Structure 1
């Protein structure tokens, strides 16, 4: 009894957990889960430049605006590219791969020969005006070297890099070279703890491990220098901020997570302590970055990437972070923005204390020494003869050693994420400040995904609007790095296969005034004739742009509307197609100026993403139909159809049997018809053609029934010696049927009498689609097979014959004739569904104009027919129908 209750309780708990886990990715705030307005596939990229070589993993990028060079670190090579055009032939290369001996030693350590046992460039930065400094993993034995910028050659012998570069290519890592001092953060050796270090020049500093470990399994994603000494009235020092994710140390009553996002800082002028914290940071402090939606129970704890946006003053600095959920099987991302003043406020707040040398960290409520632990050297300390960190009192340094964690958390600027995408994993981002025509500054974000897409978004009063999503690669691959150049007006993308250079904007993609204004792109505006880049226009007085609302300014601007005509017969189904270029637009249909209600079952209309469907057309449904694209509450006409529905209409032009179904030729004249004999099929009326179709279907169905009965009889005769077993075999079935295990037989004796194994999705005049089992494998033999041993019969009774199969669907190779209403002879292969109702796509002749908001009906319908040409007229038969 006790065990039964325990099992019931356990099942209830598991059910609740499964329900929560299943619903978690779908409980999303609609105002944050933004849909990109425009989708651009890789074939539609404009102004895109590529760089590729025999190397892979182009993950390290460095841009020097003065020299107009883009330096790229890959696996086993470093490149110097022309920043204005990376595809130019002027690229310089330094080959730097690990030796065969070093690769062999790497394999002996048990490392992966396909990924780890190579020299991955992890550090590539400018050391001074004449040299670069680079470090590579070098097959799990890091090395570093200097590069002469002018000649682009290695100018020194490689030196030991174990304290500056991680061993592995995927280990979390960040590095900065500031005034020829190298600041790095990583887990350097595979047996060591994560560490933040200053390696050169002397004195070198690192974080503390005992008695309190300052970093707990930290995974670093970025770092930044903030020159807080500029304009400082207190003589404050510059600071280096590090961003990472680590194991949680806090224990609160509101939440508990195994990993949390952090920001830590050290002072640039830190020199360590004299006795206490000797060769250790005296200014190290860390606190938590919070990016969550408590009302939806979403807490984004995994920091993936960070971008530092400098302001007009150091106090205006903003930190943009890409966060993910802790569950790896849930695909979601959030973008949160933090301000430097709030980060500094957290470092001025209360400390946390580890009371029992475990993971139970609580807020410290005791006395705080003076001067305040963790602060940089300021004018007030210099007045007390404390000019350097080695002069700090031991009680202050001992407090720093035991209290590296702050209690106050850093909240986002808007107290919520800027963006939340539940179907996207963002990897990197960059931000660009652009001034709109309204004199306001807008922050434009470029975000790369793990599948090779680039999202361009603009922050409009705290709400993110995704302008477009661009597919960078035909094959999905992650965006490993992003870099932005204001001078070149380009964004550079590093990936496993190469580097891509894209313009910051592509305004000519928007071919109408409304399309340009709806985009709400700060880079773009309408000049009366085309959408142009604002930054390239000297005279901006006549430009039209509406970033805040995205709807004003185009009311008096004329635009073209596609005009089409349809002439169909009564009782035919008519599809009026309307393609919208914007993912945010919704279609609106009117008939003679009155809105069409396509949701009432008795209205005779159906509306959907493909267009408007007129079901069993009536004469009173003739009229002028207009499709509008509704976006930002503005209606823009896209296409008009002049539909004429008559009792009988003349046949449309004949269709040439070419590659395209919609390639037409002129209709034959009366004289040409009398010149020679014509095909008898062309002289038949549509109703007679329908009768022919039905007759063909009946004949083919009868043939299937006859063949099935014959096969049943032959199979039964061959297997009559095995009581209780049935086998439906082909006439050529000479291979023995493999026997099943006793367990399988026992299971299937309790099932239905017969179980068809495979049924083909088509029946081209003969019933086919049966698989055959040979040596434990199923081999397609083209006939229906019922596996032996799947049922049982009473002794002395013959099994009842199986029911005949459903009549097959005839297939036709090519259109040889058409109905007068445009219905092609390929009727069974062009069935589709809209709002749960089957209907026939019509091939209709039309005369059309081009419009930027409309795609070719013939091209689109041809593509749809090609995709759905295998659609069956009848549903797949189930077991009861076999």
Structure 2
């Protein structure tokens, strides 16, 4: 890998342009607003003394969120996961199984526990749960009302993975358990059906239907409902596997790549009678492409339907494959169910032994079509179940599980290509906006604990906001949406987070509310509020363009003027906080726009306007606007006054007579100073000689009783409090009569008391400048400002008091914090190499 991330990204976008995609800037998207962890509001959290809260089951109508974690299952109140009313099932692996796990060489900090990987509703009264149980999987049927473990457990080797890190997916459909994973250490990946009178699995010979597969998710599509052909329900599986066919890799066609797949099986499949006994007769798979080279690592899939299975769409997130570890990037693609059906109805592929690869099969195809479900057409020909299928069909299915056609995304291009982000999870909601259209809202969890909320407008993704839901960096492992509670539940290693689907109150003006383009929010004339299905009158919203609906200046609001007065030659910073990462700062000086580039001594940055070496002509009225989607929102207003330099007092040349008199006066002053110094030296010598004689006589004669002849001067703090230390007790003494106490008694000697250093006197601080003389720079902390989009300056006009907490952080820490915050905004595409 040569050329680095920048070269790779350029190559990727060149490839995208060559294939006819939109411009690279259209594929990427910047979140409009950034909400850090400390700015969160309305968020509730749950965690207990365990880890890995990754398996979520939401029963919205019952108001319960079930959580499978390491060694525990929780039942939380879905309206408030943090209210303390939860119930807990402790399900730890036994010490014997943990010891057995350790003897197999497994990790006693991550693997040798019972990780709950499966948690679904089995019937109206019971739940079904499976856990890894220290590499000895177990399953349990749990009474949902009593919420306790049963006395008997089931063997889980056919239903649950042994490894907590192994890809796994499972569904319970009409009483049958459909799972996909690698079930044992030496077994091959498999799609199985259990808890059914006809257990099934995938074929392993003479061809492996799955090639080192890692499963991501599975989706049930009820295609039998209102089907005109009497079709069957289908379960779709999404996974990664090693490719046996020639790939369309842009970079290296010689290496064996891992590709994304979608496979399907029919719910009513019961296997073959003689051939493919207890095996799927309806298994088919096809490649899933997102049309960006090397975006082949499938991370998450979520489905939506518009009221019928024919309108089902799949949203999928991809990341760069392992060969490109020098950078992070993600892609989001949308697939229609019709595109998946076309691939499964198209040509097959066949494995050629002599070439050791898969290629298109152009031979004859038997009837009924291999891999298809039983339909009315099949029944009219006498095929009422898969066991009635002819041997020619079943033999063909064994050798042709792979389809030639690829499943292509809608529009044959990605919805989003996001740099510097690795999306790990995805959840989708469909919202009807005020314009009568339905919009898909995507919640995408990242590998470092952020949630990106986006809305799909036509074929473009607009990222409404990015929210940091975890302070510590950790991947988002699961996402579930509750339409009843209007909440998003986020599962991760450290706990569960419940956050609102929308925080409309965060938008304080009409323009801010409209520009957000959040389908959950609308402006009611006074505030931005959440839309309800019952009351929609008088609301304003514009999802399509995000700039219509505010009238008569309602988007601007009124801001108080701030005065700034400085002396000529000083620097002044006029701060302007841009809440939107998509807005452009526009400054007006007395009604004329300040360009900021090429203008003398004016620099426009993301944090404000810097005027350097001010002149009187810089005085005037400054207004800062945020310009976005053609709208301008007033964000700050200043009145700047630049005072001229103070005049210097004139000097007068002295006369010769005055100069002579001054010389004589200087001579007299020198002689007087010398005489004074001699007298002082003599007096000091006499005093020192006297003190020396007293020291020699000390201790030879004692007249009368000893008495405390010395005094100790002690000072106390400004509030006249000090702590008195004694061997028996410690008490606080208060001195109401001042901060200096004269205490009679013996002064402490070196033998009895440690020597205390006298405090160094600190000169008083100068009085602060009046408010009208501040320039906006001194009042700021040592903040790293990015001015003019490509250079950094540390602005500090006046020193803060030494006791200020701003001095506790070093410049390095300060720089790290600012750069960490800027990391998620990406306002500048290319920074100078000398920026930092």
TM-score normalised to structure 2 length: 0.77
SS at match of 1:483: strand
Between the aligned partners of 2:354 and 2:300, the Cα distance in structure 1 is: 31
Whether 1:324 and 2:319 are equivalent positions in the alignment is: yes
Query: 1:299 Cα deviation (Å)?
Result: 3.3
Q: Contact 1:814 / 1:826 at 8 angstroms: preserved in 2?
A: no
Aligned CA distance change for structure 1 residues 97 and 418 (closer, same or farther; 3 Å): same
Task: Report 1:388-467 matches (<5 A).
Answer: 388-467=385-464
Between the aligned partners of 1:590 and 1:463, the Cα distance in structure 2 is: 33
Within the candidate set 379, 383, 388, 1:386 is matched to 383
Within the candidate set 560, 563, 567, 2:561 is matched to 563
SS at match of 1:343: helix
Partner residue in 2 for 1:591: 589
Partner residue in 2 for 1:226: 221
Between the aligned partners of 1:123 and 1:483, the Cα distance in structure 2 is: 15
Query: 1:563 Cα deviation (Å)?
Result: 1.5
Task: Report 1:51-450 matches (<5 A).
Answer: 51-252=46-247, 255=250, 256=253, 258-293=257-292, 298-327=293-322, 329=325, 330-356=327-353, 359-450=356-447
After superposition, give the CA deviation of every residue in 1:710-760 in whole Å (9 maximum; x if it has no partner): xxxxxxxxxxxxxxxxxxxxxxxxxxxxxxxxxxxxxxxxxxxxxxxxxxx
Query: 1:254 Cα deviation (Å)?
Result: 6.3
Partner residue in 1 for 2:547: 551
After superposition, give the CA deviation of every residue in 1:498-552 in whole Å (9 maximum; x if it has no partner): 111111111111111111111100110111111111116x442311111111111
Within the candidate set 506, 509, 519, 1:509 is matched to 506
Query: 1:604 Cα deviation (Å)?
Result: 2.2
SS at match of 1:299: coil
Between the aligned partners of 1:351 and 1:832, the Cα distance in structure 2 is: 60
Unaligned runs of 5+ in 2: 15-22, 648-761, 816-836
Aligned CA distance change for structure 1 residues 387 and 588 (closer, same or farther; 3 Å): same
Q: Contact 2:778 / 2:798 at 8 angstroms: preserved in 1?
A: no
Between the aligned partners of 2:494 and 2:763, the Cα distance in structure 1 is: 43
Between the aligned partners of 2:394 and 2:358, the Cα distance in structure 1 is: 20
Query: 1:300 Cα deviation (Å)?
Result: 1.2
Aligned CA distance change for structure 1 residues 39 and 871 (closer, same or farther; 3 Å): closer
Between the aligned partners of 1:532 and 1:870, the Cα distance in structure 2 is: 38
Within the candidate set 627, 630, 635, 2:627 is matched to 630
Unaligned runs of 5+ in 1: 1-13, 651-811, 846-857, 873-882
Query: 1:186 Cα deviation (Å)?
Result: 0.2
Between the aligned partners of 1:517 and 1:386, the Cα distance in structure 2 is: 58
Query: 1:868 Cα deviation (Å)?
Result: 4.5
After superposition, give the CA deviation of every residue in 1:621-645 in whole Å (9 maximum; x if it has no partner): 2111111111111111111111111
Partner residue in 2 for 1:575: 573
SS at match of 1:535: coil
Aligned CA distance change for structure 1 residues 24 and 78 (closer, same or farther; 3 Å): farther
Partner residue in 2 for 1:540: 536
After superposition, give the CA deviation of every residue in 1:667-690 in whole Å (9 maximum; x if it has no partner): xxxxxxxxxxxxxxxxxxxxxxxx
After superposition, give the CA deviation of every residue in 1:629-669 in whole Å (9 maximum; x if it has no partner): 1111111111111111111489xxxxxxxxxxxxxxxxxxx
Between the aligned partners of 2:814 and 2:216, the Cα distance in structure 1 is: 49
Partner residue in 2 for 1:816: 766
Whether 1:488 and 2:492 are equivalent positions in the alignment is: no
Partner residue in 2 for 1:7: none
Q: Contact 1:273 / 1:280 at 8 angstroms: preserved in 2?
A: yes
Query: 1:573 Cα deviation (Å)?
Result: 1.4
After superposition, give the CA deviation of every residue in 1:369-390 in whole Å (9 maximum; x if it has no partner): 1111101111111111111101
Deviates more, 1:241-250 or 1:828-837: 828-837
Between the aligned partners of 1:218 and 1:18, the Cα distance in structure 2 is: 29
After superposition, give the CA deviation of every residue in 1:402-441 in whole Å (9 maximum; x if it has no partner): 0000000011112111111121111111111111111111
SS at match of 1:414: helix
Aligned CA distance change for structure 1 residues 449 and 871 (closer, same or farther; 3 Å): closer
Partner residue in 1 for 2:525: 528
SS at match of 2:343: helix
After superposition, give the CA deviation of every residue in 1:797-855 in whole Å (9 maximum; x if it has no partner): xxxxxxxxxxxxxxx9995366896589999989978455968544699xxxxxxxxxx
Between the aligned partners of 1:579 and 1:128, the Cα distance in structure 2 is: 55
Q: Contact 2:333 / 2:415 at 8 angstroms: preserved in 1?
A: yes
SS at match of 2:111: coil
Between the aligned partners of 2:616 and 2:132, the Cα distance in structure 1 is: 77
After superposition, give the CA deviation of every residue in 1:77-113 in whole Å (9 maximum; x if it has no partner): 0011111111122211111111111100000111111
Q: Contact 1:818 / 1:825 at 8 angstroms: preserved in 2?
A: no
Deviates more, 1:15-24 or 1:29-38: 15-24
Aligned CA distance change for structure 1 residues 105 and 252 (closer, same or farther; 3 Å): closer
Aligned CA distance change for structure 1 residues 626 and 865 (closer, same or farther; 3 Å): farther
Q: Contact 2:310 / 2:337 at 8 angstroms: preserved in 1?
A: yes
Between the aligned partners of 2:561 and 2:806, the Cα distance in structure 1 is: 22
TM-score normalised to structure 1 length: 0.73
SS at match of 1:505: coil
Q: Contact 1:830 / 1:865 at 8 angstroms: preserved in 2?
A: no
Q: Contact 2:348 / 2:400 at 8 angstroms: preserved in 1?
A: yes
SS at match of 1:230: coil
Aligned CA distance change for structure 1 residues 345 and 869 (closer, same or farther; 3 Å): closer
Aligned CA distance change for structure 1 residues 826 and 50 (closer, same or farther; 3 Å): closer
Aligned CA distance change for structure 1 residues 867 and 36 (closer, same or farther; 3 Å): farther
Q: Contact 2:782 / 2:794 at 8 angstroms: preserved in 1?
A: no
Partner residue in 2 for 1:730: none
Query: 1:196 Cα deviation (Å)?
Result: 0.3
Query: 1:340 Cα deviation (Å)?
Result: 0.5
What is the root-mean-square deviation of aligned Cα atoms in Å? 2.9
Aligned CA distance change for structure 1 residues 497 and 412 (closer, same or farther; 3 Å): same
Query: 1:155 Cα deviation (Å)?
Result: 3.1
Between the aligned partners of 2:366 and 2:444, the Cα distance in structure 1 is: 44
Query: 1:575 Cα deviation (Å)?
Result: 1.2
Aligned CA distance change for structure 1 residues 826 and 813 (closer, same or farther; 3 Å): farther
SS at match of 1:382: helix
Q: Contact 2:783 / 2:794 at 8 angstroms: preserved in 1?
A: no
